Amino acid sequence: MDKKDKQIIAILREDSRFTTAQIAAMSGLSEDEVKDRIAAMEQSGIIAKYTVLCNTEKMDSDAVTALIEVKVTPQMRDGFDAIARDIYKFEEVKDVYLMSGSYDLTVIVEGKNLREVSRFVTERLSVLKDVTSTATHFILKKYKAEGVVLEKREEIKREEIV
């Protein structure tokens, strides 16, 4: 990845609906070059997906998100990978991260309601053979996600002075 790739990524992360022509203008590349670079980054997996960031607070649902601290017994050869795979294959699991510090994996789970998440933890996650303990934290309110402030706040006002 060179500087121009990084710039394209920065633009797409701001808004992935910018057109190729607009990205070309903004980065000073030709349209074809932008197309090629984006295709290459999709190919190599640098661009994993185009998605939408929803403010779930505003959605009419009981959906809940939980952050689960998981301690596991690492396996010979595979280390943490095998157990991480066992966990991420569940559909309700959104993120799995290997952590430094006092526990091993952060697992982020979304469920339709509180009960669904509880059931996931008690019936599917904690029963996995190498999981030694879990600590489940339910997210009460999202203030900011993916760099976007989700709550409405009064902006700092700039005045047209002169």
Residues engaged in binding another protein (CB under 8 A):
7, 10-11, 14-15, 18, 21-22, 25-28, 158-162
Distance, CA of 142 to CA of 57 (rounded, Å) = 8
Closer Cβ to another protein, 8 or 84, answer by number: 8
State in angstroms the smallest separation of the CB of 149 from another protein.
Answer: 12
State in angstroms the smallest separation of the CB of 59 from another protein.
Answer: 21
Closer Cβ to another protein, 54 or 99, answer by number: 54
Q: How many separate helices (H) and strands (E) can be counted in the chain?
A: 5, 6
3-state secondary structure of 82: helix
State in angstroms the smallest separation of the CB of 158 from another protein.
Answer: 5
Closer Cβ to another protein, 18 or 103, answer by number: 18
Q: What angle do CA 156, 158, 160 make, to 5 degrees?
A: 165
State in angstroms the smallest separation of the CB of 25 from another protein.
Answer: 4
Q: Determine if residue 28 is left, alpha or beta; phi over 0 gives left, psi from -120 to 50 gives alpha, anything else beta.
A: left
Distance, CA of 93 to CA of 42 (rounded, Å) = 23
Q: Which helix (H) or strand (E) holds 135?
A: strand 131-138
Closer Cβ to another protein, 7 or 56, answer by number: 7
Max Cα-Cα span within the chain: 69
State in angstroms the smallest separation of the CB of 145 from another protein.
Answer: 16
